[in-house]
Amino acid sequence: MVGIPTFLCLFFIWFPTVLSIGLSFTNWQGFTALTEKNFVGLKNYQVLFTSYPAFWPAVWHNALWLITFVFIATPLGIFFAVLLDREMRGTRVYQTALFIPVVLSLALIGFIWQLQYTPDGFINHILGRTGDQAIDWLGDPSINIYSVLVAASWRHVGYVMVLYLAGLKSVDPTLREAAALDGANARQTFLRVIFPVMRPINIVIVVVTVIESLRAFDIVYIINQGKNGLELLSVLITNTSIGEASLLGFGSAIAVVLLVISLVPIVIFLTRTMRGDVDVS
């Protein structure tokens, strides 16, 4: 029973990963090109870091994605979880409303928000910017990344809310009672008692947030294939590897860079899990 999933994991994840690392040191252009897999050493990485114009904007956009998720979407999710944990009237309705975006794919969310951001869409009508004064939310490269981040955060808030709300439900109620007897108000109780106790959930949320930020792909690819101000590392991999250029060796180099960046939170999470700091059950 363990052997079959282990084999599938090795075959579909680790084997392609090792192949990608090897391909990143070649100039291979794929099966359709009449070229050989010539070893070029670190040339792909040298070009990527020094003369590939889309790379550093993509890195910045991924970093901006992470900053937005960590400092805006995640705190909002925690805030809603704390409110809903108080069992206010209509709690189930609010939970459902906030959770609905989580069950939708990012591709579908991209379609939904495209409709909102059209020149004659809902948002421009609310702002009174119609006709010639309409704001091109997705076509203007100076603002489209922020518009997409609003859509992506809409989903991430609900995701964090569900995780944190589940953690809050498992907190021993006697901790709140003891804090109240000591004279702590609601804010002090949360910051000094509940939040430290929620350390395992906090670590999981941080790791999930980092991974979600790094693997972002669907929503920008649906909008404009990750171009014109919406470049991300994941989209560069796709456009370079299977696009018109079909530079599989160079695309593999971008994938390796993204893999190295992604390994940092994963290694931290696994390290804490093996130390027993995180209850993964």
User: 233 in a domain, yes or no?
Assistant: yes
User: 81 in a domain, yes or no?
Assistant: yes
pTM to 2 decimals?
0.84
Using the predicted structure, report yes or no on whether residue 231 has a pLDDT greater than 80: yes
Residue 80 CA to residue 73 CA, distance in Å, equals 11
Residue 225 CA to residue 236 CA, distance in Å, equals 9
Residue 130 CA to residue 141 CA, distance in Å, equals 20
- Give the distance from CA 251 to its chain's centroid: 20
How confident is the model at residue 62, as a pLDDT? 92
- Greater pLDDT, 236 or 91: 236
User: 232 in a domain, yes or no?
Assistant: yes
Strand partners, 39: 26
| Cβ neighbours around 232 below 10 Å, total | 27
User: 223 in a domain, yes or no?
Assistant: yes
Residue 166 CA to residue 157 CA, distance in Å, equals 14
Question: Which range among 8-12, 45-49, 144-148, 212-216 shows the weakest confidence by mean pLDDT?
Answer: 212-216
- Give the distance from CA 19 to its chain's centroid: 25
Closest of 82, 84, 88, 270 to residue 189, by C-alpha: 82
Using the predicted structure, report yes or no on whether residue 95 has a pLDDT greater than 70: yes
Using the predicted structure, report yes or no on whether residue 32 has a pLDDT greater than 80: no
Q: Are 26 and 37 in contact (CB under 8 A)?
A: yes
pLDDT digits (tens, 9 = 90+) for 150-198: 999 999 999 999 999 888 888 888 888 888 888 888 888 888 888 888 8
How confident is the model at residue 39, as a pLDDT? 84
Q: Are 110 and 151 in contact (CB under 8 A)?
A: yes
| Cβ neighbours around 197 below 10 Å, total | 15
How confident is the model at residue 134, as a pLDDT? 86
Strand partners, 26: 39
pLDDT band at 281 (very low <50, low <70, confident <90, very high): very low
User: 225 in a domain, yes or no?
Assistant: yes
User: 280 in a domain, yes or no?
Assistant: no
pLDDT digits (tens, 9 = 90+) for 129-138: 877 788 889 8
User: 15 in a domain, yes or no?
Assistant: no
**Average pLDDT score over residue span 256-269:** 83
CATH number of the domain enclosing 195: 1.10.3720.10
Q: Are 232 and 216 in contact (CB under 8 A)?
A: yes
User: 171 in a domain, yes or no?
Assistant: yes
The total of structural domains in the chain comes to 1
Residue 242 CA to residue 86 CA, distance in Å, equals 50
- SS3 sequence of the chain: CCHHHHHHHHHHHHHHHHHHHHHCCECCCCCCCCCCCCECCCHHHHHHHHCCCCHHHHHHHHHHHHHHHHHHHHHHHHHHHHHHCCCCCCHHHHHHHHHHHHHCCHHHHHHHHHHHHCCCCHHHHHHCCCHHHCCCCCCCCCCHHHHHHHHHHHHHHHHHHHHHHHHHHCCCHHHHHHHHHCCCCHHHHHHHHHHHHCHHHHHHHHHHHHHHHHCCCHHHHHHHCCCCCCCCHHHHHHHHHHCCCCCHHHHHHHHHHHHHHHHHHHHHHHHHHHCCCCCCC
Using the predicted structure, report yes or no on whether residue 86 has a pLDDT greater than 60: yes
Domain around 171: 42-47+55-274
Rg (CA), the chain: 23
Residue 76 CA to residue 71 CA, distance in Å, equals 9
How confident is the model at residue 60, as a pLDDT? 93
